[in-house]
Amino acid sequence: MLKIPTAPLNDEVYNQTFPEGQWPKFQFGISCISPDNTHFLTTLLEKEKILGNESTALYKIPIDGGEPERLISEGSPWYPRYSPDGKWILYTNWYENGNYPGINYGPYPAQFAQLCVYKVESGEITVLMPDCPYYNYYGSWSPDGNKICYILQKEESSELRIIDFEFAENEPD
Domain boundaries, the chain: 22-164
Q: Please state, as a whole number, how many other Cβ atoms lie within 10 Å of the Cβ of residue 22.
A: 12
pLDDT of residue 11: 54
- Phi, psi values for residue 111, rounded to 5°: -155, 170
Residues 6+ apart with CB under 8 A from 45: 26, 27, 29, 55, 56
Q: How confident is the model at residue 144 (pLDDT cuts 50, 70, 90)?
A: very high
Given a cut of 90, whether residue 115 has pLDDT beyond it is yes
Rounding to the nearest 10 degrees, give the CA dihedral for residues 146, 121, 94, 46.
140
Rounded to two decimals, the pTM is 0.77
pLDDT of residue 102: 56
pLDDT of residue 43: 87
User: Top-level CATH class of 22-164?
Assistant: mainly beta
Given a cut of 80, whether residue 20 has pLDDT beyond it is no
Given a cut of 70, whether residue 65 has pLDDT beyond it is yes
Mean pLDDT of all residues in 37-61:
74
Cα distances from 140 to residues 85, 89, 167, in angstroms, run 14, 10, 16
